[in-house]
Amino acid sequence: MHNQLSWRRWLILGALGPAACSPPEAEQVQRVEQPAAALPPPKPRKRFASAAAVLHDSTLTYWEGTPPDTSKSSLIRLVFSFHPDTGVYSFHGQCQAMYPARLQDGAIILNWSEEVDCVFDRGLDRRFAGVRRPEPGRPFVRYVLRNDTTLRATYYYPGWTTRFNQTSGEQDTLFPSTLHVNQDFPDGL
pLDDT > 90 in the chain, percent: 22
- For residue 176, being part of any structural domain is answered with yes
Task: Give the model confidence (pLDDT) of 115-163 as tens digits.
Answer: 888 887 767 777 777 888 899 999 999 999 999 999 999 999 999 888 8
Q: What's the CA gap between 166 and 131, in Å, rounded?
A: 14
Q: 143: domain range?
A: 51-181
Q: What's the CA gap between 69 and 170, in Å, rounded?
A: 10
Per-residue pLDDT at 155? 94
- For residue 136, being part of any structural domain is answered with yes
- For residue 58, being part of any structural domain is answered with yes
- For residue 164, being part of any structural domain is answered with yes
3-state helix, strand, coil in the chain (%, to 5): 20, 30, 55
Cβ-contact 63, 182 below 8 angstroms: yes
Count of domains for the chain: 1
- For residue 163, being part of any structural domain is answered with yes
Per-residue pLDDT at 11? 45
Per-residue pLDDT at 5? 47
- For residue 169, being part of any structural domain is answered with yes
Q: What's the CA gap between 46 and 146, in Å, rounded?
A: 15
Per-residue pLDDT at 184? 72
Per-residue H/E/C for 56-67: CCCCCCCEEECC
- For residue 41, being part of any structural domain is answered with no
CA distances from 162 to 17, 62, 86, 132, 169 (A): 72, 23, 23, 12, 11
Please tell me which of 53-57, 77-81, 165-169 the model is most confident about, judged by mean pLDDT: 53-57
Give the predicted TM-score (pTM) of the model: 0.70
Per-residue pLDDT at 189? 41
